[in-house]
Structure 1
Amino acid sequence: MTPTDHDAATLHAWTAVGGRPELVGRVSYAGAGDVLPAKLPVRQLARATVGACSLAAAELVAARGGTGTPGERAAAQRIPEVRVAEGAVATAFHSERHLRIDGRAPTAFAPLSGFWRTSDNWVRTHANYPHHRARLLRALGIPDDGSRDDRALAGVLAAELATREAAEVQETVYAGGGLAVALAPAPAAAPDELVPLVETREAAERGSRRLPARAPVAAPADGVRVLDLTRVLAGPVAGRTLALLGADVLRVDAPQLPEDADTYADTGMGKRSTLLDLGAAGDREVFEELLATADVVLSAYRPGALDRYGLAPEALLDRHPGLVVAQLSAWGWTGPWAGRRGFDSLVQAGTGIAAIEATGAAAASGRPGALPAQALDHGTGYLVAAGVLRGLTERQETGRGRRMRYSLAGTAAWLMHGVRREAPSEGAYDARRWMTACESPYGKLDHALPPVGYPGGPNGWARPVGLWGADAPAWR
């Protein structure tokens, strides 16, 4: 593909985050063969999200490197052309699978996470975190006295679920605070109204914070301060990408919700991490001090979960009109499922993707399939980063921040109904070409290189991952 070609998926992703359509021709791709093979057009979605993010990074470099309106800068061709390697994209979309920690491969899913046969259908559970595991077992009345390991409990869980209907399991587990979703059939046609890919609303008032304009700019997000209130996996991918591009990304977690070390080793690259209990007066005061000079807030908790702390997007923009606020949910922002917890694998099950992707002997037996990567997570993460970068570019001109809303369900709807499938690109793929290694507090990490970039931009993180929760709650 040449820079003058207009890739439809890239155009859609780019304009969804507010980019001007005429700039999309600056993005081209280097093929790597049939990477991310699936029934659905995963390769096209993956490269489009990374392409849009790379173009947003290049645009922000131009916005900070001189004067004039965005249109004038584009006319002067100050926004560089971007070429994205599909091999790098495919490797990054598998980053958690390619990761090795002192040679050890992390476990992708716990024994109680997965698809299970019910009396009438299938149900997908997610029990990777200890609190979700405990809630799942408790909701289904399965005792856990510590005498059986999870592989033994998996047999008990399978036997229990085989006696129940999928919808009843879904609602029972949800009522108990756990995670289980009944398999939805493959959709026969697109619904009349798709879940939006991105929803954006600009702040009503102007803020005082802008990024300094200087040439050359070390990295597009140099000097940007990001409060990262996200957990697995899309939000952390967005934060990891902003850290790559120069931002000071400070992840904030509650001390009572520990993170999986292997997961953080993958998604914590370039970031720092601190622990604050927003329900404690002292910690809340520290958080407000951080917020007062932040540029960006990333939030991936359930809709409304942070509102009681005064952190609803509208409240944030009222107090800090220059903030760029990106919210992420699993199931979208309206409808009966809007407030439910969710992960990529569950959204695949609940939207019909898992039914579409069933292949071979599994399909013959009725067993659901899965995308070749956690593509909803990774794709949404790069879209979030692209939207943040575009928000910062627009703020340079208007002084206004914005609120953006994304969802895994919105990305799923786009994948199923809005991305056109294409023939595999030319080229060969070797994941090792797109891997590197570094030392970290967790051990030696063999990890994927970042796929986002532009000419002259950073090709790796300035700092490796640090220990989760070990940093002071302060900007660097």
Structure 2
Amino acid sequence: MTALGTAWSAVGGDAALLPRVSTVVREGALDARLPVRELARACVGACALAAAELGARRAGRAEVPEVRLDDGAVATAFVSERHLLVDGRAPVWFAPLSRFWRTADGWVRTHANYPHHRAGLLAGLGVTQEDPDAVAAALAGRSSHEVEQAVYAAGGLAVALRTPEEWAAHEQAAEVARRPLVEHERLDTARARALPRLDGTPLLPAAGVRVLDLTRVIAGPVATRTLALLGADVLRLDAPRLPELLDQHTDTGFGKRSAMLDLAADRRAFEELLAAADVVVTGYRPGALDRFGLSARALAERRPGLVVAQLSAWGAYGPWSGRRGFDSLVQVATGIAATEGSAERPGALPAQALDHGTGYLLAAAVLRALTERTEQGGGHCVRLALARTAHWLTTGIRPGPRGDVAYEAPDAWLGERDSALGRLRYALPPVSFEDGPRDWARPPGAWGADPARWD
């Protein structure tokens, strides 16, 4: 089965629709040792096809619109953060302490972009100041697995470099491999809920769909950014106490509104939002939101027919289920960094492809769940994990044919517009189908500046 066929099957799509997809193959796009281009194309393609399918149903069309994938658009979008300019300024995406480090027996990669993760890293290493030389010295005398355990215990993030063979022997890898690429759960038997009929162009399959976005960093926000492109009313909610990387929010905030809400103190406000929501997307560690009544089952009990989409780094199972994680760390643990480099000098994928790929696949799963709800009713829960996407990349995708068109400058897939944040240059969306939208209806706004209510 092709990578697109696997992705489409994973979200519950009908294989008979796959011929509606055509591809412009560009040589050099997302070039890597692993088949990153094929993964990216498959995830975006499944999302575009799910959008076209839902749009056709809502518009009363007999035929699903044709989907056109272009490796240039896909590759540009998969590194959207690198193309972002705000008034001509290029953001800095990784803090000085977020990188590969030598240890006594190998390598670790750390993630310290957020202040609390940075503090956890320093505490785990017994370092009192934010000094790269002091961190390097502390790491040089310890084994990579010792560092991993100590830093995680202190609330930081550090992952030891593993080869593919070492990861395959790990208990978490075995748990990940046993799970499907996209997990599906039926939450209730609520009656079918039809969405209003669509007329005119652009065709916006998610128009009128209200999405509560409780995600952070890249994968979840990419998914909800895509749903916003397709017409959904997306309201992102963040806790006032948690810091955010503002440029990262800008890159993934197109089409959405952003509000602050304390889930413990403002439960009534959240319940009012939930009562009118169609979709809730969460991107926190498995179980982290349960104390707020935000497990999939608890949400569905209060809002029958709800679509719940859950995203995590390592999966909601196994010994690492409660661990924090990011794309760069999952690459290191699962053998990807060793494959793209070596055990002596680790490398990385040409994009944060686990984040972006999982984000588009998550959006595809939500769109398909909405289609199924209009036909069969019931609430749905879909679950994805970066580590499971990594398993698919490393063991389940074959490299495709070489392209006959070169991938060169990405200018054709970049846009510019004014916003409240300044003049933006940004990657245009790669999700493309006949009569579909070409850009977001609104630029990103300031983080947390909107009221916590539906438009």
TM-score bracket relative to the smaller structure: over 0.9
SS of 1:23 mapped into structure 2:
helix
Work out which of the residue numbers 241, 249, 254 in structure 2 matches 1:269: 254
1:57-456 mapped onto 2 (5 Å cutoff): 57-66=51-60, 76=62, 78-144=63-129, 150=130, 153-187=131-165, 193-207=177-191, 209-216=193-200, 218-280=203-265, 283-358=266-341, 363=342, 366-429=344-407, 430-456=409-435
**C-alpha distance after superposition, 1:26-64 (max 9, x if no partner):** 111112222101110000000010000000000001111
Provide closer, same or farther for how the CA distance between residues 216 and 202 of structure 1 changes in structure 2, counting only shifts above 3 A.
farther
- What letter is aligned with 1:187? E
> What letter matches 2:76 in structure 1?
T
TM-score, normalisation: structure 2: 0.95
Offset, 1:187:
2.9
CA contact (8 A) 2:188 2:305 kept: no
Rate the CA distance shift 1:372–1:214 in 2: closer, same or farther, 3 A: closer
Cα deviation for residue 23 of structure 1 reads 1.0
Moved more, 207-216 or 267-276: 207-216
Deviates more, 1:57-66 or 1:200-209: 200-209
Q: Which whole-Å deviations, capped at 9, do the CAs of 1:138-196 have from their partners, x for residues lacking one? A: 2211113xxxxx5xx11111111001111111111111111011111123897774443
Structure 1 contact 166–182 (Cα < 8 Å) conserved:
yes
Mapped contact 1:63–1:396 kept (Cα < 8 A): no
Q: Return the alpha-carbon distance in structure 2 between the equivalents of residues 423 and 242 of structure 1.
A: 31
* 8 Å Cα contact 1:194/1:413 also seen in 2: no
Q: Does 1:41 align with 2:24?
A: no
Q: Does structure 1 conserve the Cα–Cα contact (< 8 Å) formed by 2:158 and 2:329?
A: yes
Structure 2 letter corresponding to 1:321 = P
Provide the alpha-carbon RMSD of the alignment: 1.6
For the residue of structure 2 that corresponds to 1:252, the secondary structure is strand
Q: Which piece of structure 1 moves more, 341-350 or 393-402?
A: 393-402
Preserved contact between residue 123 and residue 182 of structure 1 (Cα < 8 Å): yes
1:194 to 1:357, Cα distance in 2 relative to 1, 3 A: farther
> What SS is found at the alignment partner of 2:39?
helix
> AA paired with 2:262?
D
Q: Which residue of 1 aligns with 2:14?
A: 20
3-state SS of 1:385 partner: helix
C-alpha contact 1:195 1:413 (8 A) present in aligned 2: no
Shift of the 214–108 alpha-carbon distance from structure 1 to 2, 3 Å rule, reads: closer
Identity in percent? 61
Q: CA deviation at 1:238?
A: 0.2
Equivalent residues of 2:120, 2:155 under 8 A apart: yes
CA distance in 2 between counterparts of 1:214 and 1:163 reads 63
- Whole-Å Cα distance in 2 between the matches of residues 256 and 207 of structure 1? 39
Q: Distance in 2 between matches of 1:440 and 1:134?
A: 34
Distance 2:442 2:421 in 1: 14
Q: Deviations over 1:186-244 (max 9, x none)?
A: 23897774443110012232146431124447410000000000001100000100000
Map of 2:5 onto structure 1: 11
> Cα distance 1:298–1:179, how it changes in 2: closer, same or farther (>3 A)?
same
Number of corresponding residues: 447
Deviation, structure 1 residue 332:
1.3
Give 5+ residue unaligned stretches, structure 2: none
Q: SS in structure 1 opposite 2:162?
A: coil
Counterpart amino acid of residue 306 in structure 1: L
Contact 1:57 1:453 in 2 (8 A): no
| Secondary structure of 1:345's aligned partner | helix
Partner of 2:47: 53
